[in-house]
């Protein structure tokens, strides 16, 4: 069982800045996102992480996650993994929550899903695959991915339905840690942005 799984959300992009649902559209980082990735890397190289020697690293293949991973200094240790891709938003790709609410009042992705995209069950299955992989490791693991899939992983690590992910927001370039407390899965830290204070 892994001591913990560290979750790094990719840096800021034009679409994340404007609130658009960015699933499989391959959008690069903004300069702000690249700077955030540099600061994240500096944090992971310092105490208490000390560069995470021996950590197993995986990244979503989408450019915004891969670029964050590379700039942070983990590109040469990372394996790309399609399971870490963002939710396929189908017909809602590129739309903001307000635009979706205008055509579907009361809509909540964690309850209602998306048309022509991945179902809640499919996203749950991918999150479960990541959780199973992490728990089979005998060392820390570090993943670079996206807001909704990382929130789903957080919920499933705790054994909760992914609807719980509605309550655990993640900002770009955040760092979170999932571990154990009294033998039970626990959140050690969530949506930590302390490294961005130097930006």
Give the DSSP letter string of 158-181: TT--GGGGGGS---TT-EEEEEEE
Q: Does the annotation list 182 as a binding residue?
A: no
Q: Does the annotation list 92 as a binding residue?
A: no
Q: Please report the pLDDT score of residue 131 as a whole number.
A: 97
Contacts of 154 (CB under 8 A, 6+ apart): 7, 165, 168, 176, 178, 187, 190
Can 86 be counted among the known catalytic residues? yes
Whether residue 100 is predicted with pLDDT greater than 70 in this model: the reply is: yes
Whether residue 14 is predicted with pLDDT greater than 80 in this model: the reply is: yes
Q: Does the annotation list 89 as a binding residue?
A: yes
| CATH number of the domain residue 39 falls in | 3.40.50.1240
Catalytic pick from 56, 86, 93, 118? 86
Whether residue 149 is predicted with pLDDT greater than 70 in this model: the reply is: yes
Whether residue 1 is predicted with pLDDT greater than 60 in this model: the reply is: no
Catalytic pick from 10, 21, 146, 148? 10
Give 60-95 pLDDT, tens digit per residue: 999 999 999 999 999 999 999 999 999 999 999 999
Give 31-42 pLDDT, tens digit per residue: 999 999 999 999
Local confidence band at 199 (pLDDT 50, 70, 90 cut-offs): low
Which residues constitute the domain of residue 179? 5-198
Can 148 be counted among the known catalytic residues? no
The domain total for the chain is 1
Q: Does the annotation list 107 as a binding residue?
A: no
């Amino acid at each position: 069982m892994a001591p913990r799984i560290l979750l790094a959300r990719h840096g800021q992009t034009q679409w994340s800045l404007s609130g658009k649902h960015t699933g499989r559209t391959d959008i690069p980082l903004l300069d702000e996102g690249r700077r955030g990735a540099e600061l994240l890397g500096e944090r992971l190289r310092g105490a208490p992480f000390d560069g995470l020697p021996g950590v197993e690293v995986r990244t979503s293949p989408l450019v915004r996650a891969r670029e964050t991973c590379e700039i942070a200094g983990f590109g040469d240790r990372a394996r790309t993994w399609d399971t870490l891709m963002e939710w396929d938003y189908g017909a809602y790709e590129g739309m903001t929550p307000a635009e979706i609410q205008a055509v579907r009042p009361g809509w909540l992705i964690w309850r209602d899903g998306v048309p022509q995209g991945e179902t809640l069950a499919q996203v749950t299955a991918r999150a479960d695959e990541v959780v199973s992989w992490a728990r089979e490791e005998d060392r820390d693991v570090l993943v670079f991915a996206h807001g909704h899939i990382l929130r789903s992983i957080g919920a499933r690590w705790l054994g909760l339905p992914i609807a719980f992910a509605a309550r655990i927001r993640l900002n770009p370039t955040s760092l979170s840690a999932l571990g154990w407390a009294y033998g039970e899965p626990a959140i050690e830290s969530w949506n930590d942005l302390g490294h961005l204070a130097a930006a």
